[in-house]
């Protein structure tokens, strides 16, 4: 292996060159060791193809080892922001590369080691027609613990789900206002006048900050009204604050 070029203060280019050299040296030695390697006097194409085969094995091995390292870092308390920084990608990129690292259980890593593992998973009904926002909300909830999240795209679908025989009663409903077929305003009025559904906490999470929307939601007995922040980090914190209060702090009524 080449000399030790992994020194403190090395630039990314210097580190990359050192890694390339070390991997190239390792691949060449592995090519000579594998049983189906090229004969000593093979032509250039055979040697190059053998090296290509070995490098593919090295790539797969690196991916497996990277997965293990990400899990170890998560168990030690690192979050997706830190995992992304370590690999030069965004937090969202780290989530896509290593999904499910932070499902709370006794045998899986947790991003929040001080969070108590719930006796049962919390059930959240998300009524949201914007797929990008729905994905952000799901990611924000999943980082805090075990959440069974069901997403529907309008009020009609929400009522169908809630009233379906055998449907699990959610612990929390997160509701957008502007949706097709039946909007959040109309759904909220129905929910809060239905004896079987009116005790489920409903948090309005929407882009509107119009006073009439805020007042209308509270007049219809919404439990809280939160305006969606534009900034992604603030959006995530807003969702997690809703989750923390209604699912971790507030006492919920027993399921019927």
Q: What is the pLDDT of residues 95-147, one digit of tens each?
A: 777 776 654 333 333 333 333 344 456 888 999 988 888 888 887 877 666 57
Q: Which of 5-19, 62-76, 125-139 is predicted with the least confidence, judged by mean pLDDT?
A: 5-19
Stated pTM of the model = 0.56
Burial group, residue 137, by CB count within 10 angstroms (0-12, 13-18, 19+): buried
pLDDT at 17: 84
Q: Tell me how crowded residue 242 is: count the other CB atoms within 10 A of its CB.
A: 22
- In three-state secondary structure terms, 175 is strand
With a CB cutoff of 8 Å and minimum separation 6, the contacts of 211 are none
Residue 249 has pLDDT above 90, yes or no: no
pLDDT at 136: 81
Residue 149 has pLDDT above 50, yes or no: yes
pLDDT at 40: 61
Tell me the average pLDDT across 34-49: 70
Confidence of residue 42 (pLDDT cuts 50, 70, 90): low
Pairing of strands 147-152, 202-206: unpaired
pLDDT at 112: 33
Round the average pLDDT of the chain to a whole number and report it: 79
């Amino acid at each position: 292996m080449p000399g030790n070029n992994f020194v403190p203060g090395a630039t990314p280019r210097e580190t990359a060159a050192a890694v390339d050299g070390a991997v190239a040296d390792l691949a060449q030695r592995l090519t000579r060791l594998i049983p189906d390697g090229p004969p000593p006097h093979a032509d250039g194409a055979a040697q190059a193809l053998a090296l290509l085969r070995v490098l593919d094995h090295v790539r797969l091995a690196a991916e497996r080892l990277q997965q293990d390292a990400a899990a170890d870092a998560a168990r030690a308390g690192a979050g997706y922001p830190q995992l992304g920084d370590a690999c030069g990608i965004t937090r969202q990129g780290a989530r896509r590369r290593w999904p499910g690292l932070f499902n709370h259980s006794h045998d899986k890593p947790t991003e929040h080691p001080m969070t108590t593992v719930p006796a049962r998973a919390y059930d959240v009904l998300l009524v949201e027609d914007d797929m990008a926002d729905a994905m952000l909300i799901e990611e924000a909830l999943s980082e805090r613990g075990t959440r069974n999240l069901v997403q529907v795209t309008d009020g009609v679908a929400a009522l169908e789900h809630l009233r379906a025989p055998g449907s699990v009663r959610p612990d929390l409903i997160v509701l957008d206002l502007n949706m097709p077929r039946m909007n959040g305003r109309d759904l909220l009025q129905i929910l809060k006048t239905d004896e079987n559904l009116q005790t489920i906490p409903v948090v309005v999470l929407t882009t509107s900050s119009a006073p009439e929307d805020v007042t209308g939601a509270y007049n219809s007995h919404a439990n809280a009204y939160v305006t969606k922040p534009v900034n992604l980090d603030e959006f995530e914190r807003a969702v997690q604050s809703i989750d923390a209060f209604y699912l971790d702090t507030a006492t919920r009524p027993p399921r019927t």
